[in-house]
Structure 1
């Protein structure tokens, strides 16, 4: 059978998946696993009807899963980090000192900036959310600030650093795939990213006015602090552990060994500082830390972490990447993007289409990296044809791909955030101000031509030489 993938066929699995997802989550109040599997089944059937053999479809599934393996390892390690750092008293120390330093009225602004600085230094939003973010959730909830609002501030700050740091994998990926100098790419992102952060901070400042010290339950904060002191050994020396992890990552030690060091130090802190048995410390790594204080907030915050508690997240990643792998490997994603290219006639519409395609790929393929890789391959030649500098493409990929991955509950980033911060994408989405402001600004810039740069005379001449060489090679 001839392989023929039309736009109508390509879009069908995505429509089915999103429809089933909405019904399952909104109406049935269930998780996103089954809708993703349903979408993968429909995608496999469509691919088979389009001439693909099962071996090819199966290879697409495996390719998708292989792409997610580094993310799965990070997810598992973050589960171990949370369990060991709670057991080791590190999270309790961070929360207690945070309650003493931060004020409710400026907490959202402060935690956004703290996460932005840490993520900028280490280049990882996930590591920032899994460490500083976990403590920030505890501080914010202790102050009576709603969990979705706190999560939105943490996400906004974490993704600012992830997007702008020269150490970030997505930043290097976008620059590398488009042939853009790394620092030219970062500098070009200032125009959308800095205003996006300022808008987010202004909104968080406005929201924070509702949590002034006079209106906050100070008795509740004092009770939480007292319970933490009774339940854990609090020491400033415990802050050395997260500092070591951040320094390792900032020194370009790969994330996995750096996180392993963090797990080991947390384990040792639980045994030698908190006085737990080795058995309890191992249990915290396997099934999470367990504590019963009688304080509802503390019990909710600290009964978590561990390998077992991340298996829900890992299984969702596997289901999502199976679905996304079929879409990409069988040409469905390409068919959808080719349709978009027919509509994008002007330079501005091409850049806007790139941003929207990256967002769509996040929804369809459920993986942040794919949302950068696939559109970069699809649109690179179109940017050359319209004589646009590559930094326009690299910025559009990050504005649409890196940041919007958090808005889809089935995307690896949305899954990770739910497993780490305990808040679903549907709840924190309105408060992830930075993450949706930047793509909007990017589209506005594209349609108005603001900061969209054309190639220089030398670059245009190079493109012409490439076309001539290509034509000669084909001849």
Structure 2
């Protein structure tokens, strides 16, 4: 994706030169789009250190160990959605959720005969639940930065606008689990659960970690400080410091090993390789992706590439509610850009005139671009999580929450319009 974005950047610059813009003007346009990258980069580096140390100190292992017991055959699909949503809220990463809880859910699902596509859909939906509304989610921070809104206020708005879709998705997974039948007739449920995944994974985690309750404290700190509306950077710094101390005192790591882990990522033993990842350096590529994506916005705007699209948007804006317009824009931008970051940036740029209110636009983006990108089969947001858990592309059809969210908000806005029109 980085190579593709770089090639696109070169092509845009070349196109600008053909249109007789000076190199100085083109670079000025590109840099103007990157005004938000500094703050985002700092936060992303902190997220890299945080996720690595959470893996090393046992926070992620504790959550996975405690949650995997809920993967019972009777309520398997709803449990998968809830557990993946919970892990994604705590970690703020869809890919990290897929690589940990998602792998376990997929393994247990295969053992008890759950359809791979349905199980993959529940994992994908849960993974992007937190990617949308976690206080440490990079996509949520990006939306807040480019719209000039407050992250904590956005999160409250996301909870308010997303709970109906979440409950509806939970109900659908419950019905799917009941209708399709979770356990084949020739499989003993208890044996199936032990055969793969949950029990075996928890035993391995307990062998490699000292999973005392103290390992959960870094996650608790994130939730409590976020609820108290502490600065995001300060919140993550506190959690990082706690994780650092737990690595040394609870997991018997040296200070040098802990520092190395924070920068290079956690290198787990082969048996629990799902815990690999994180690290400050591991976020550099993502920061570059965000930076290049933001230059597109500056170049599009400076060269007037989006002018025709904006005029077309203005013509159809009155016919659609804000979320409906943002949904169409998000589908097109996700399909063309193939990544969630650029889809968010383009949706914001195109929706600027149509949805001038910053808070309303931020909500529209969170309810569309963030969750629609994983529904486009060829985007990175879809390919990597599904590839990580070994789920088929058809899983997209069962990622209920991801399409119920924009649909429910469109319906809500249309009802509000009718009520407002009736009053007038």
TM-score with structure 1 setting the length: 0.67
CA distance in structure 1 between the aligned counterparts of 2:275 and 2:158, rounded to whole angstroms: 38
Which position in structure 1 is the counterpart of 2:206? 229
Which one of 45, 51, 70 corresponds to residue 39 of structure 2?
A: 70
Q: Is the 8 A contact 2:133 2:155 kept in 1?
A: no
Question: Deviations 1:418-472 (Å, cap 9, x if unpaired)?
Answer: 59x95799957445432223334556777xx5432576899x9xxxxxxxxxxxx
Question: Deviations 1:158-203 (Å, cap 9, x if unpaired)?
Answer: 267469xxxx7789889988xxx9999779x75xx45533442234
CA apart distance, 1:85: 1.2
Which one of 177, 195, 199 corresponds to residue 219 of structure 1?
A: 195
- Aligned pairs for 1:387-426 within 5 A: 396-407=364-375, 414=381
Question: Deviations 1:102-130 (Å, cap 9, x if unpaired)?
Answer: 425534423544666798xxxx7873758
CA apart distance, 1:376: 4.3
1:327 aligns with 2:327: no
CA apart distance, 1:287: 1.6
Which position in structure 2 is the counterpart of 1:204? 173
1:317 aligns with 2:290: yes
Q: Is the 8 A contact 2:165 2:401 kept in 1?
A: yes
CA apart distance, 1:92: 1.5
CA apart distance, 1:251: 0.8
CA distance change for structure 1 residues 242 and 334 in 2, over 3 Å: closer, same or farther?
Answer: same
Which position in structure 2 is the counterpart of 1:28? none
Q: Looking at CA atoms only, which structure, 1 or 2, has the larger radius of gyration?
A: 1
CA apart distance, 1:81: 1.6
SS in 1 for 2:353: helix
Question: Deviations 1:237-276 (Å, cap 9, x if unpaired)?
Answer: 2222211111011111122221122222111111110111
CA distance in structure 2 between the aligned counterparts of 1:96 and 1:77, rounded to whole angstroms: 25
Q: Is the 8 A contact 1:414 1:424 kept in 2?
A: no
1:306 aligns with 2:279: yes
Q: Is the 8 A contact 1:82 1:305 kept in 2?
A: yes
CA distance change for structure 1 residues 275 and 392 in 2, over 3 Å: closer, same or farther?
Answer: closer
Which position in structure 2 is the counterpart of 1:25? none
1:97 aligns with 2:66: yes
CA apart distance, 1:288: 1.7
CA distance change for structure 1 residues 329 and 407 in 2, over 3 Å: closer, same or farther?
Answer: farther
- Aligned pairs for 1:159-174 within 5 A: 161=133
CA distance change for structure 1 residues 442 and 169 in 2, over 3 Å: closer, same or farther?
Answer: same
CA distance in structure 2 between the aligned counterparts of 1:274 and 1:184, rounded to whole angstroms: 36
TM-score with structure 2 setting the length: 0.74
Which structure is higher in RCO with an 8 Å CA cutoff and minimum separation 6?
2
CA distance in structure 2 between the aligned counterparts of 1:38 and 1:424, rounded to whole angstroms: 30
CA distance change for structure 1 residues 159 and 195 in 2, over 3 Å: closer, same or farther?
Answer: farther
CA distance in structure 2 between the aligned counterparts of 1:423 and 1:83, rounded to whole angstroms: 20
CA distance in structure 2 between the aligned counterparts of 1:394 and 1:81, rounded to whole angstroms: 26
CA distance change for structure 1 residues 366 and 108 in 2, over 3 Å: closer, same or farther?
Answer: same
CA distance in structure 2 between the aligned counterparts of 1:314 and 1:394, rounded to whole angstroms: 21
CA distance in structure 2 between the aligned counterparts of 1:243 and 1:43, rounded to whole angstroms: 45
CA apart distance, 1:73: 2.9
1:337 aligns with 2:310: yes
CA distance in structure 1 between the aligned counterparts of 2:205 and 2:90, rounded to whole angstroms: 27
1:84 aligns with 2:53: yes
1:255 aligns with 2:267: no
Which position in structure 1 is the counterpart of 2:405? 438
Which position in structure 1 is the counterpart of 2:22? 53
1:377 aligns with 2:373: no
1:266 aligns with 2:243: yes
CA distance in structure 1 between the aligned counterparts of 2:157 and 2:242, rounded to whole angstroms: 37
CA distance in structure 1 between the aligned counterparts of 2:39 and 2:53, rounded to whole angstroms: 21
- Aligned pairs for 1:451-462 within 5 A: 451-453=416-418
Which position in structure 2 is the counterpart of 1:26? none
CA distance in structure 2 between the aligned counterparts of 1:329 and 1:89, rounded to whole angstroms: 48
Unaligned residue ranges in structure 1 (runs of 5+):
1-31, 384-389, 461-475
CA distance in structure 1 between the aligned counterparts of 2:259 and 2:128, rounded to whole angstroms: 33
CA distance in structure 2 between the aligned counterparts of 1:74 and 1:425, rounded to whole angstroms: 31
SS in 1 for 2:92: helix
Which one of 264, 269, 273 corresponds to residue 287 of structure 1?
A: 264
Question: Deviations 1:286-312 (Å, cap 9, x if unpaired)?
Answer: 22222335x3xx22x122222233333
Which one of 329, 344, 350 corresponds to residue 357 of structure 1?
A: 329
Unaligned residue ranges in structure 2 (runs of 5+):
111-115, 184-188
Q: Is the 8 A contact 2:103 2:389 kept in 1?
A: no
CA RMSD across the alignment? 4.5
SS in 2 for 1:233: coil
CA distance change for structure 1 residues 246 and 346 in 2, over 3 Å: closer, same or farther?
Answer: closer
SS in 2 for 1:57: helix
1:246 aligns with 2:223: yes
